Structure 1
Amino acid sequence: METESEPYIRLATLRQLHQVVADLNTARSLADTLQAVADGVIAGLGFDLSAVNLVRPDGDLVVAAVGGSAGAEALMAGRVGSRCSWERRLSMGDRWGDLRFIPYSEGWVLDDDDVPQWHTSGPAPRFPDEWHPMDRLFAPLYAAGASGGELIGVISVDKPRNGRRPGAWGREALQVYAFHAAVAIGNARLRGNMQRALLRLEREQQALRASEESFRQAFEYAPSGMAIAEMGGDQHGRLLRTNDALCRLLGRPASAMRRFSFSDLVHPEDIGTLLRTSAEGGRAELRLARRDGSYVWVSLRNSVVADAADGPRFLLTHVEDIEERKRHELQLAHRASHDSLTGLPNSAELRARLAARLCATPPRPGGGYDEEAASPGGAGAGGVYVDAAGHLHGFDDFECFGTPPPAESVPFDGHVHTIPPNEDSNADDGHKGLAVLFCDLDGFKSINDRFGHHAGDAVLIEVARRLTNGVREGDTVARLGGDEFVVLADGLGRADAQDLAVRLRNAITPPIRVDGRAVRVGASFGIGWAGCGMSAEEVLHSADQRMYIEKRSRSKERRRAG
């Protein structure tokens, strides 16, 4: 997790974290889940060594899984540490949210306790955040995933690959992973209980009444939602029975739930996903309707309960509330794609939005379409067509629109091409395009130098606010880095773009109050135009160069500084 401030590193870490979290739910047993938890730390969080310590019924913790080192596994697997020793460890050191970090300078008192460990001595760190071999980092696992629940285990990690103590992003990733690991372990235990109950129903016909009671209790008192639905016939999918957890989740009484099937409750956009999970072992994440009309994200896992003689009898569905996980995913995705200071889209998000508007097919100068691209072997592979407004289109099957294609046109591919205005003429020909305004603040460095970075940050936040208020809904204002901003505004002519640049410059120049003093910055704008056939980098470079031309052309007296 080196250079954690880099958005692309955060996105890579987020993808890895999502993958290892998804892998937790594919394990078939509790033992597989515990090993998946240990291996996920190695694969997704940047550590070379991990161990999962699971709370036993007597309260002590046993090393249930080790990842990253066969030698450490041979040394530690199956060994037990007392509960009092673990409670001592979790009460020491630094609290990083739910994490516990014990630096080597404090951890020497733990060398002789009974907790299995692999730590070795080493030289003093060369710099403040260097990882020492005797440093200890623990991620407690709590029932239901929340820190206020019952302790069910502890993840121990060591040997970060970058040789440094985790920063804020690494800590957050480890905490999120520990949250999902605790949920996965709880679900594995629940699935194990349910499977044992179902096996008893099949194998112990002579104790059917006891088996049914065991199943009833597991069903009714399960912490996650459970439902039984009919299979086959006219009533296929109708809910026969729901537990209290599912009724509370959806805000509906059990008597009302029996009037529905999951297809009646699922979000319209998720009906296809629900139908694909009807088979045995089907699993999906979708939204179900609450009584108040809102929707909640859930994970559905289906199991077919069969009779040896009559075949499938009903469908048992496990419904897990994943609203919190989805919220965490959205928060992490937002952090990875937005600037932490101003809240604007960051450089990576800007390039992604810009690239989404561009394709590799360049328009011909003066309108029309590229014959090579329109040919079957060309980049258009399906053809292109220029509408009356000068936009370049392509299509595969014009008949789906209900009207025949123009005689001179070729099949349509559905993409609306972005065409820049004619740069060879100073006149505004009325063409509308995607304007890219590159903004660089004038005099910002002097504010940083004179008043400090706190004042500079306040100026950047205020400039971001003024730029956002100065554009239309649907336009993009992004912070490229430092004191550089970029505005994407579609549907503008050349005069419109010039007017927008003037309005935004005038919005920026009024004084900004920072810590009781008024400071001022100016702004230089360069206007570029995006067009298909260009890359995002080419578009931004073009606007950047025009900004510098504009900056040099304006006299120093007209550029306001703090």
Structure 2
Amino acid sequence: RLLGRPAAAMRRYSFSDLVHPDDINTLMRTSAEGGRAELRLARRDGSYVWVSLRNSVVADAADGPRFLLIHVEDIEERKRHELQLAHRASHDSLTGLPNAAELRARLSSRLCALPGRPAADAEAGPVHGYGTADGFRDAAGPGGATDAATHGFGGFLPWDGEQLTGPPPLPGGAGYLPFGGTGATSYPPEAGHHEHAVPPTGDGSGEKGLAVLYCDLDGFKAINDRYGHHCGDAVLIEVARRLTEGVREDDTVARLGGDEFAVLADGLGPAEAEDLAVRLRNAIIPPIHIDGISVRVGASFGIGWAGCGMTADEVLHSADQRMYVEKRSRSKGQRRAG
């Protein structure tokens, strides 16, 4: 009833076939987290429902594990509430953009500590793999028993009386092999794979990097002072919309606070980053119409480059400093004109 699927149809599926592709790793790690997990299962209509899983191995002294008992609880309402709270904590309430903390988190996730220097605001090391092989299966030879305490994903596989047999291939099933009679397994690639962020060293078109564009609005305070905060808020909302429309889908536009914004854009060369800054500045310049009045703001941009060994704050500070250099290089009249 929960998934809108008849029992006869359910029997044709492996459990993993019903799990959202993005939650397969969560399913794989269930044993390492005490046999509990929260993930999404596919309904018959193509939608997904959040559920809580609790599993335990049913075994006997002679033959070891016989089957896995899984308790599934509908947590859709609770999860929706949690996700709403998480969104509020990580996004700006006025513009709906990611806030400064969320930008730092996304930036930090791309930076690692190089030897000899810890990344102060990065998480304590990348998350690697899914534990040791023993965490997946404690094999005792062909058809060997799986330790109930470390049954891992093997516990989700059907027991045929002689050995554990594998499910149909998982979505994107490269790296996954079914358990066989020899006890040999193939594990998924390590989740902690990291590609170092390296700032471009020149203007060559072949060099790409992770750019941070720091944006400060010019002339915004005068609008706030003259027309009030209601008008100022409307300007910020419109600027956020224009910035978002001017970047790629995978780029991040964040509001840092006040009239300051930032754009996180990967895979850009120096010339491309400069071009993006110009295009975004030109998108902000046109008049903004609010309650019968027309106002204009300009924008100053500074470009910083992220590199492993740096912290998120260092990257943002570098972009902020370049923004002030760019702002001071233009007269007040030029800044107001964008």
TM range (shorter): 0.5 to 0.7
Q: In the superposition, relative to structure 1, how do residues 261 and 456 fare at CA in structure 2: closer, same or farther (>3 Å)? A: same
Q: In the superposition, relative to structure 1, how do residues 271 and 345 fare at CA in structure 2: closer, same or farther (>3 Å)? A: closer
Deviations 1:293-345 (A, max 9, x none): 333222244688999xxx99998765321112121121111111111111111
Q: Paired residue for 1:354? A: 107
Match of 2:274 among 498, 505, 517: 498
Match of 2:250 among 474, 480, 483: 474
**2:103 maps to 1:324:** no
Deviations 1:57-114 (A, max 9, x none): xxxxxxxxxxxxxxxxxxxxxxxxxxxxxxxxxxxxxxxxxxxxxxxxxxxxxxxxxx
Q: CA RMSD in A?
A: 3.5
Deviations 1:337-362 (A, max 9, x none): 1111111110001111111222222x
**2:39 maps to 1:286:** yes
Q: In the superposition, relative to structure 1, how do residues 501 and 264 fare at CA in structure 2: closer, same or farther (>3 Å)? A: closer
The residue identity in structure 2 corresponding to 1:542 is S
The residue identity in structure 1 corresponding to 2:91 is H
Q: Which runs of 5+ in 1 are unaligned?
A: 1-246, 362-372, 381-400, 402-412
- Indicate if the aligned counterparts of 1:263 and 1:274 stay in contact, CA closer than 8 A: no
Q: Which runs of at least 4 in structure 1 moved beyond 4 Å after TM superposition?
A: 268-278, 301-307, 311-318
Q: Paired residue for 1:334? A: 87
Q: Secondary structure at the match of 2:212?
A: strand
Shift of 1:287: 3.2
Match of 2:232 among 424, 438, 456: 456
- Indicate if the aligned counterparts of 1:263 and 1:271 stay in contact, CA closer than 8 A: no
**2:317 maps to 1:529:** no
**Residues 83-162 of structure 1 correspond to what in structure 2 (within 5 A)?**
none
Deviations 1:454-492 (A, max 9, x none): 000000000011111111221111111000011112222
Q: Paired residue for 2:292? A: 516
**2:180 maps to 1:428:** no
The residue identity in structure 1 corresponding to 2:110 is R
Shift of 1:561: 7.0
Shift of 1:507: 0.7
Q: In the superposition, relative to structure 1, how do residues 414 and 325 fare at CA in structure 2: closer, same or farther (>3 Å)? A: closer
Q: In the superposition, relative to structure 1, how do residues 561 and 416 fare at CA in structure 2: closer, same or farther (>3 Å)? A: same
Shift of 1:288: 3.1
Q: In the superposition, relative to structure 1, how do residues 324 and 438 fare at CA in structure 2: closer, same or farther (>3 Å)? A: same
When Rg is computed on C-alpha atoms for both structures, the one with the higher figure is 1
Q: Secondary structure at the match of 1:329?
A: helix
- Indicate if the aligned counterparts of 1:444 and 1:561 stay in contact, CA closer than 8 A: no
Aligned length: 259
- Indicate if the aligned counterparts of 2:117 and 2:309 stay in contact, CA closer than 8 A: no
The residue identity in structure 2 corresponding to 1:465 is R
Relative contact order higher in (CA < 8 Å, ≥ 6 apart): 2
Q: In 1, Cα distance between the equivalents of 2:271 and 2:57?
A: 66
Q: In 1, Cα distance between the equivalents of 2:197 and 2:66?
A: 57
Deviations 1:109-157 (A, max 9, x none): xxxxxxxxxxxxxxxxxxxxxxxxxxxxxxxxxxxxxxxxxxxxxxxxx
TM-score by length of 1: 0.41
- Indicate if the aligned counterparts of 1:306 and 1:312 stay in contact, CA closer than 8 A: yes
- Indicate if the aligned counterparts of 2:243 and 2:253 stay in contact, CA closer than 8 A: yes
Deviations 1:416-468 (A, max 9, x none): 2222233xxxx723322222111111110111111110000000000011111
Q: In 2, Cα distance between the equivalents of 1:492 and 1:273?
A: 33
Deviations 1:156-189 (A, max 9, x none): xxxxxxxxxxxxxxxxxxxxxxxxxxxxxxxxxx
Q: Which runs of 5+ in 2 are unaligned?
A: 119-174, 176-191
Q: In 1, Cα distance between the equivalents of 2:229 and 2:66?
A: 68
Shift of 1:286: 3.4
Shift of 1:530: 1.6
